[in-house]
Structure 1
Amino acid sequence: MSKYFAVLLLLIFSTQIQALEKVTLQLKWTHQFQFAGYYMAKEKGFYQEEGLDVIIVPADPNNPNVDFRVLYGQAQFGVFHSGLLKQRLEGKPFVALAALLQSSPYCWMVKAQSGIYVPRDFQGKRISLLGHTENGELLMMLQRAGVNTDSMLLYSGKKPFDDFIAGKFDAMQVYSTNEPYQAQQLGVATREICPKQFGLNVYADVLFTTEAMLRDRPQQVMRFRRASLKGWRYAMLHLEESLAVTKANYATHKSLAQLAYEAEKLKDFIRVSGIPIGKMSAAKWLWIAQLYHLDVSQFHEHKADFIYSEVKQDPASLSWVLIIAAVLTLVCIPMYIQLIFSRKNKSHLR
Structure 2
Amino acid sequence: MKKCFLLTLFLILQFFIVDAKPAIQKVELVLRWKHQFQFAGYYAALEKGYYSELGIDVEIIEGNPDASVLEMVSSGEAGFGVGNVEVLVNYLKGEPLVLLASIMQHSPSVFIVKENSSIYNPHDLVDKNVMLHTDERGYELLSMLYNEGVKPWQLNIVTHTHSINEFLANEVDALSAYITSEPYFLESYGIPYRLIKPSSYGIDFYSDCLFTNKELVEQNHDLVDDFVTASLKGWEYALHNKEEIAALIVKKYSTAKTYNQLLYEANEIHKLINPELVAIGHTNRGRWLSMANFLYQQGLIEIPESIDTFFYHKERHLNVRWDWILIFISSFLLIVVVGVLFYLRVVKGVTRKTKEMSILLTKLEEQNKRIAQINTQLLSAREVAEESLRDKSTFFAGLTSELKNPVKGMVLAANALAKPDIGGTEKKELISEIKILGDTLNHFSKDITSIFILDPSAERISYHDTEPNDLLKTFAAKCTKQHGLDKEQIRLSLLSPLVSQKVLIDKEKVLRSLDILLSNAIKHSPGVKIQIGWSNDQPEMLTFWLSDNGAGLTLEQLTQ
Contact 1:163/1:169, CA 8 A, preserved across alignment: yes
Distance change in 2, residues 1:88/1:159 (3 Å): closer
Distance change in 2, residues 1:154/1:313 (3 Å): closer
For 1:244, which of 247, 255, 274 is the aligned residue? 247
Amino acid in structure 2 at the alignment position of 1:200: I
Write out per-residue CA displacement over residues 24-81 of structure 1, whole angstroms, 9 at most, x where no aligned residue: 1111111100011111111112112222111111112x32531111122221111111
Q: Give the whole-Å Cα distance in 2 for the aligned partners of 1:11 and 1:322.
A: 10
- Confirm whether residue 280 of structure 1 aligns to residue 283 of structure 2: yes
Contact 1:109/1:171, CA 8 A, preserved across alignment: yes
The aligned residue for residue 309 of structure 2 is 305
Q: Secondary structure at the match of 1:278?
A: coil
Return the offset for 1:319.
Answer: 1.2
Q: Give the whole-Å Cα distance in 1 for the aligned partners of 2:273 and 2:321.
A: 27
Contact 2:142/2:152, CA 8 A, preserved across alignment: yes
- Confirm whether residue 188 of structure 1 aligns to residue 191 of structure 2: yes
The aligned residue for residue 138 of structure 1 is 141
- Confirm whether residue 33 of structure 1 aligns to residue 33 of structure 2: no
The aligned residue for residue 116 of structure 1 is 119
Return the offset for 1:318.
Answer: 4.6
Write out per-residue CA displacement over residues 130-168 of structure 1, whole angstroms, 9 at most, x where no aligned residue: 243132221222232333432221223757521211001
Q: CA RMSD in A?
A: 3.2
Distance change in 2, residues 1:320/1:43 (3 Å): farther
Q: Give the whole-Å Cα distance in 2 for the aligned partners of 1:129 and 1:313.
A: 41
Distance change in 2, residues 1:40/1:321 (3 Å): farther
TM-score, length basis structure 2: 0.53
The aligned residue for residue 70 of structure 2 is 67
For 1:128, which of 113, 126, 131 is the aligned residue? 131
Q: Secondary structure at the match of 1:103?
A: coil
Q: Secondary structure at the match of 1:74?
A: coil
Amino acid in structure 1 at the alignment position of 2:248: V
Contact 1:28/1:64, CA 8 A, preserved across alignment: no
Return the offset for 1:316.
Answer: 6.3
Amino acid in structure 2 at the alignment position of 1:304: D
Amino acid in structure 1 at the alignment position of 2:220: R
Distance change in 2, residues 1:51/1:244 (3 Å): same
Q: Give the whole-Å Cα distance in 2 for the aligned partners of 1:313 and 1:151.
A: 48
Q: Secondary structure at the match of 1:54?
A: strand
What runs of 5+ residues in structure 1 fail to find an aligned partner? 330-350
**Worse-superposed segment, 234-243 or 15-24:** 15-24
Q: Give the whole-Å Cα distance in 2 for the aligned partners of 1:159 and 1:216.
A: 39
Runs ≥4 residues deviating over 4 A: 10-18, 157-160, 294-297, 312-318, 323-326
Return the offset for 1:308.
Answer: 0.9
Distance change in 2, residues 1:316/1:53 (3 Å): farther
Q: Secondary structure at the match of 1:213?
A: helix
Amino acid in structure 1 at the alignment position of 2:165: D
TM-score, length basis structure 1: 0.82
Flag the structure with larger Rg. Answer: 2
The aligned residue for residue 51 of structure 1 is 55
**Alignment map for 1:1-350 (pairs within 5 Å):** 19-60=23-64, 62-63=65-66, 65-156=68-159, 161-271=164-274, 274-293=277-296, 297-298=303-304, 300-301=305-306, 303-311=307-315, 315=319, 317-319=321-323, 322=326
Contact 1:16/1:51, CA 8 A, preserved across alignment: no
Q: Secondary structure at the match of 2:59?
A: strand
Q: Secondary structure at the match of 1:177?
A: coil
Distance change in 2, residues 1:225/1:158 (3 Å): closer
Q: Give the whole-Å Cα distance in 1 for the aligned partners of 2:15 and 2:275.
A: 45
Contact 1:108/1:193, CA 8 A, preserved across alignment: yes
What runs of 5+ residues in structure 2 fail to find an aligned partner? 334-560
Amino acid in structure 2 at the alignment position of 1:192: L
Q: Secondary structure at the match of 1:197?
A: helix
Contact 2:20/2:326, CA 8 A, preserved across alignment: no
Q: Give the whole-Å Cα distance in 2 for the aligned partners of 1:286 and 1:117.
A: 29
Return the offset for 1:310.
Answer: 0.9
The aligned residue for residue 347 of structure 1 is none
Contact 2:51/2:57, CA 8 A, preserved across alignment: yes
Amino acid in structure 1 at the alignment position of 2:23: A
Amino acid in structure 1 at the alignment position of 2:50: F
The aligned residue for residue 340 of structure 1 is none
Q: Secondary structure at the match of 1:120?
A: helix
Q: Secondary structure at the match of 1:115?
A: coil
Q: Give the whole-Å Cα distance in 1 for the aligned partners of 2:213 and 2:249.
A: 28
Q: Give the whole-Å Cα distance in 2 for the aligned partners of 1:67 and 1:188.
A: 37
Q: Give the whole-Å Cα distance in 2 for the aligned partners of 1:138 and 1:196.
A: 10
Q: Secondary structure at the match of 2:234?
A: helix
Q: Give the whole-Å Cα distance in 2 for the aligned partners of 1:177 and 1:103.
A: 12
